[in-house]
Chains A and B, each alone.
Chain A
Amino acid sequence: MNTMKKSTVAVIDYGMGNLHSVAKALEFVADEHTSVIVTSDPAVIDAADRVLLPGVGAIRDCIGEMHNAGLVPSIRKAMAEKPFLAICVGIQSLMSHSEENGGVDCLNHFQGNALFFGEKHTDHDGSKLKVPHMGWNQVKHTINHPLWADIPDNARFYFVHSFYVVPENKSEVAGTCDYGLEFCVAIARDNVFAVQFHPEKSHKDGLQLYKNFLHWDGKP
């Protein structure tokens, strides 16, 4: 094995802003053989060893910009063949459909929908819960996975979102969180892993997840 070859991780830039933190967090945990490339070039994504799909903002703009930038074929290709990590709105974009913005068809890599917590969201005891779900909440591992390596079960990660994913195939759920209801915050199948929280804003455990991603061979 030639350990001198540079491994590349492509952070997909589709114009939705704030990729700085994602790229900096990856660089912070990357070794000298790994280069982090923020790119909107399909050829660079196709050539990368692993791909990260960030997501900020509203789903209609996200999906729209991915299509406008001609990135969807490269995203699908990457999900078919190499380690792939999606974060925040990125996880929602991989579902079949989202109810945000009046209803938006997404990439349908995972069957299931993204649903709104609702402005009248309540806790189990009926007390009012704020929406967005903003802040540090505990993530329960529902499967063993290389991306959970060295991260304690129920560690806290930083969330900021108003929509949550409901995969149809429950065996794809990799982690859950409780906010008035128990919902999926991590989903996994083959070489694709996606999380609702922001690892790049989640201190040690978030950085550990990125480190795990950079060492992941894409096998569950």
Chain B
Amino acid sequence: MGLAKRIIPCLDVDNGRVVKGVQFVDIRDAGDPVEVAKRYNEQGADEITFLDITASSDDRETTVHMVEAIASQVFIPLTVGGGIRTCEDIRRMLNAGADKVGINTAAVFNPEFVREAAQRFGSQCIVVAIDAKKVSADGEPDKWEIFTHGGRKPTGLDAVEWAIKMVEYGAGEILLTSMDRDGTKNGFDLGITRAISEAVHVPVIASGGVGNLDHLVDGVIEGKADAVLAASIFHFGEYSIQQAKQRMTDAGIEMRL
């Protein structure tokens, strides 16, 4: 009895369409974000995160309409990340029906933006996304650094210290992506997940590297994550959300079934 751990499927969207392939046997158009969101909702997803990779800010209006359409039909929490740089960006997404926005690069270049956003909209809707990579060699004490530009540019910022700072500035949740695990299917970097989760009082979402259902279990039990985010294992029908929840329940984790 108590608060359930969350499973969050993540979708990349470009110009209001889901990209990077989502396959459900029984949907005709897997690029329609409304259809995809509905399907994950029916499968029991606890939230859905959209990562907006639309290149041009002119096309951002399309994303706003997409969020409106989803929020009219899917009644679970929605997070939108990617391209959130100003309070005006946040206001538009929240008014369209997003519950939370993810701030990533903008936080690194202008931490005060996180403070301003939390004061204006409340910490509950400000998710700070942290892209971290392990920089310590084997045998050295563990150290992780923040990277930007898809993991290409180091910032010199220590990931754990940065997470603590972002929570002080008003982040209501941390979305932690291990850039050296992303896409590997080798599982989360449990060391950094646990280090950050134990260092902050807000919920931490683990992301990057999920290849099977045991990785989700490990993220919660060993990584102490409050939620786990995954993309490809759900998109290609390898596993359903229900299967993931059942595996986690069998491992003794409280889930919403």
Query: Chain B's interface: helix, strand, loop or mixed, by majority?
Result: loop
Instruction: Establish whether residues A206 and B75, one from each chain, have CB atoms under 8 Å apart when the complex forms.
Output: yes
Q: How far is the CB of B110 from chain A (nearest CB, A)?
A: 22
Contact partner, B4, options A27, A28, A132, A135, Cβ 8 Å: A135
B3 an interface residue at 8 Å Cβ cutoff? Answer: yes
Residue pair B2, A130 in contact (C-beta under 8 Å):
no
Q: Is B122 in contact with A138, judged by CB distance below 8 angstroms?
A: no
- The 8 A CB mask of B65-83 against A (1 = contact, 0 = none) is 0001001110111000000
B13 at the interface (CB under 8 A from A): no
Contact B71 A20 (CB under 8 A): yes
Q: A173 an interface residue at 8 Å Cβ cutoff?
A: no
CB–CB A17/B94 < 8 A: yes
Task: Report which of B73, B99, B172, B226 forms a contact with A18, defined as CB distance below 8 A.
Answer: B99
Stretch at the interface among A42-50, A154-162, A188-196: A154-162
CB pair A130 B226 closer than 8 Å: yes
Residue from B2, B41, B173 within 8 A of A134 (CB atoms) = B173
Interface size class of A (residues with CB under 8 A): 35 or more
Chain B's closest residue to A206 (CB) is: B75
Question: Is there contact, CB below 8 Å, between B72 and A24?
Answer: yes
Chain A contacts for B46, CB-based, 8 A: 135-136
Contacts of B97 in A (CB 8 A): 18, 20-21, 24
Q: Tell me which residues from 1 to 46 in chain B have a Cβ below 8 Å from any Cβ of chain A.
A: 1-6, 41, 46
- CB interface residues, A 152-190, toward B, < 8 Å: 154, 156, 158-162, 178-179
Interface members, chain B 84-106 (any A CB < 8 Å): 91, 94-97, 99
Q: What residues make up the interface of B, taking CB atoms closer than 8 Å to A?
A: 1-6, 41, 46, 68, 71-73, 75-77, 91, 94-97, 99, 121-125, 172-173, 198, 201-203, 226-227, 256
